[in-house]
Amino acid sequence: MSLGADLIRFTASETAAAISAGEVSAVEVAQAHLDRIAAVDGRVHAFLHVDTEGALEAAAAVDASRAAGERLSPLAGVPLALKDVLTQRGIPTTCGSRILEGWRPPYDSTVTARLKAAGVVILGKTNMDEFAMGSSTEHSAYGPTHNPWDLDRIPGGSGGGSAAALAAFEAPLAIGTDTGGSIRQPAAVTGTVGVKPTYGGVSRFGLVALASSLDQAGPCARTVLDTALLHATIAGHDPLDSTSADVPVPDVVAAALRADVRGMRIGVVKELSGEGYQAGVRQRFDESVAILTELGAEVVEVACPNFPYALAAYYLILPSEASSNLAKFDGVRFGLRVGEDDGSPSIEQVMGRTRAAGFGPEVIRRIMLGTYALSSGYYDAYYGQAQKVRTLIARDFAAAFEKVDVLISPTAPTTAFKLGEKLDDPVAMYLNDIATIPANLAGTPGMSLPVGLAPEDGLPVGLQIMAPAMADDRLYNVGAALEAALLRQWGHPILQEAPSL
Ligand code: GLN
């Protein structure tokens, strides 16, 4: 095997260690990943834009720092795939939409800036459902991403590109965003790890807003420790984001290294583990519960009686906020402009033509739903009611966390479904997020990690861990303990093997 083929299989922490020890250069690592992308991304389509020159330059800068004897930060030289909803100065940022085609933002998001400052090598921008609306990446205006485990299946969404890039060994690290599950559900169906941090834990500056009260950027990787290292790199207070929490970041890396659940109380959410889950998903989930018990945790069932209303509340709150956030895409300030030269149109006509041409059907559906829910006379019945449900869900979490340290559930009801299978049925698509949405509504953190393959189809299954706000470290402690036990049990890193591409 060539050196490049080995390098793409390293974890992020192994890569960083090899670079800082001088065993390999950051440029070689970047080149190995760029070669991998060139070899497989025609079939996977994880990337919308690959920044070959920028990546090699950033890698060369890391090598130069090392040569100058400077101390490298923990992820220096490690390649990363950035979801196309976060700005990177001078690099196309489309949010998977035609309406932003050709827009090159003049500034870095805070996440991007922190990655650059840490010497992380940004390989490119990843595909996503348009404006992060979806669970399959099929709503991208630039064509779907394919799941590396089976190219006829979806990689989850909206961050399917970031998750697929990890599973296809095109990058060891990725950034996603999670408004209702867009980090965790793609992680589940691609056999990777993804974390939605506590709301306010990671800056939203430069994250193109979908639903501002729910959106959260977060780390994705193939192992829990790598995810923790990335979390620590991007988290922390940012004065540029008024919703950013000015509190100390929990030590997620120490928690991932501790990996010890002895004496912990773990609650299985009753409402998220019963009917409606694929048999193999249930089976792997139940096995993980048994493993956590063997490891010394006390596992109990916990009721969260308002969780069944979360999906309905979310699909009022999200479209309402989205319809307002997307009003700025008017053909005047960013990207696409349509129908300007056709007669002498009014500004309203240009805006209307641009929006009709630039937005896809799912985005238009949600703008219409949101505009309706916010309209006078309906506001209290819809948006107001949904906000009350949101409070009840936060109370369910608060009551549960008096009894247990973390909650768990399967991340998604099924393994990856076939491309096209749910495209004509929005409600079936929305139901993928039934287990992930409660944490967004409450602002609490959640992780999905792989817990094996479903026996019936051989596809990855994800388990979700949820913790109280600002206790993100608990996710990593429990996740790392479970990950280590699963690897011991299988005797080989089953979920880290490159699927056949
Ligand atoms: N799938 C959910 C939706 O379509 C979640 C989106 C997200 O987290 N960005 O809204």
pLDDT digits (tens, 9 = 90+) for 300-329: 999 999 999 999 999 999 999 999 999 999
Q: Is the CB of 181 under 6 A from ligand 1?
A: yes
pLDDT reported for residue 342: 82
The mean pLDDT of 33-55, rounded to a whole number, is: 98
Residue 403 known to be catalytic: no
pLDDT at 407: 98
Of the candidates 46, 10, 45, the residue with the CA atom closest to the CA atom of residue 30: 10
Residue indicated by tokens 């139940």? 286
The band of 495, judged by pLDDT with boundaries at 50, 70 and 90, is low
Top mutation candidate among 97, 129, 427 for ligand 1, by most atoms within 8 Å of CB: 129
Ligand 1 pocket, 132 CB below 6 A? yes
386 lines ligand 1 (CB under 6 A): no
Query: Is 244's pLDDT higher than 90?
Result: yes
125 is catalytic: no
How close is the Cα of 170 to the center of ligand 1, in Å?
A: 24
Q: What is the pLDDT of residues 182-196, one digit of tens each?
A: 999 999 999 999 999
CA atoms within 13 A on the CB side of 67: 10
**C-alpha span between 246 and 248 (Å, rounded):** 7
Q: Given the CA of residue 432, which atom of ligand 1 is nearest to it? A: 1
Residue 182 near ligand 1, beta carbon < 6 Å: yes
How far is Cα 140 from Cα 477, in angstroms, rounded to an integer?
35
In the residue annotation, 323 being an active-site residue is answered as no
Please identify which of the residues 13, 109, 158, 448 carries the catalytic annotation.
158
Site to probe by mutation for ligand 1, drawn from 189, 213, 318 as the one with most ligand atoms within 8 Å of Cβ, is: 318
Candidate from 85, 133, 196, 325 with most ligand 1 atoms within 8 A of CB, to mutate? 133
- Report whether pLDDT(157) > 90: yes
Residue nearest to atom 4 of ligand 1 (CA): 134
Cα 135 to ligand 1 centre (Å)? 6
Band (pLDDT 50/70/90 cuts) for residue 137 is very high
* Residue 490 pLDDT grade (very low, low, confident, very high; cuts 50, 70, 90): confident
The mean-pLDDT minimum among 2-6, 10-14, 58-62, 102-106 falls in 2-6
Q: Is the pTM higher than 0.85? A: yes
88 lines ligand 1 (CB under 6 A): no
What per-residue confidence (pLDDT) applies to 175? 98
Residue 231's pLDDT is 98
Whole-number Å distance, alpha carbon 182 to ligand 1 midpoint, is: 5
Q: Where residue 1 falls among pLDDT bands split at 50, 70, 90?
A: very low
> Whose alpha carbon is nearest atom 10 of ligand 1?
133
Q: Is the CB of 135 under 6 A from ligand 1?
A: yes
Residue nearest to atom 5 of ligand 1 (CA): 180
In the set 25, 182, 323, 448, the catalytic residue is 182
**In the predicted model, is pLDDT for residue 120 greater than 50?**
yes
Given a cut of 70, whether residue 498 has pLDDT beyond it is no
Is the pLDDT score of 96 beyond 50? yes
Distances (CA, A) of 143 to 45, 48, 92, 93, 415: 8, 10, 17, 16, 21
Ligand 1 pocket, 363 CB below 6 A?
A: no
The CB density around residue 489, as the number of other CB atoms within 10 Å, is 12
The pLDDT tens digits for 261-290 are: 999 999 999 999 888 899 999 999 999 999
Alpha helices in 109-213 (DSSP H): 110-117, 160-167, 184-190
Going across the sheet that includes 460-466, the strands are: 47-50, 121-126, 79-83, 173-177, 217-221, 193-196, 446-453, 460-466, 406-410, 265-269, 298-302
> Residue ranges of the domains in the chain?
7-306+391-490
Residue count of the chain: 501
User: What is the average pLDDT across 427-455?
Assistant: 95
pLDDT class of 493 with cuts at 50, 70, 90: low
User: What is the third-level CATH fold of 7-306+391-490?
Assistant: Amidase signature (AS) enzymes (3.90.1300)
Distance from Cα 261 to the centre of ligand 1, integer Å? 31
Mean of the pLDDT values across residues 423-448?
95
* Cis bond upstream, residue 158 (ω within 30): yes
What band does 106 get if pLDDT is binned at 50, 70 and 90? very high
Residues contacting 95, CB < 8 A, separation 6+ = 84, 85, 128, 130, 131, 132, 208
The CA radius of gyration of the chain, in Å to the nearest whole number, is 21
Residue 14 CA, ligand 1 centroid: distance in Å: 32
* Rounded distance from Cα 311 to ligand 1 centre (Å): 11
Task: Compute the average pLDDT of residues 422-428.
Answer: 91
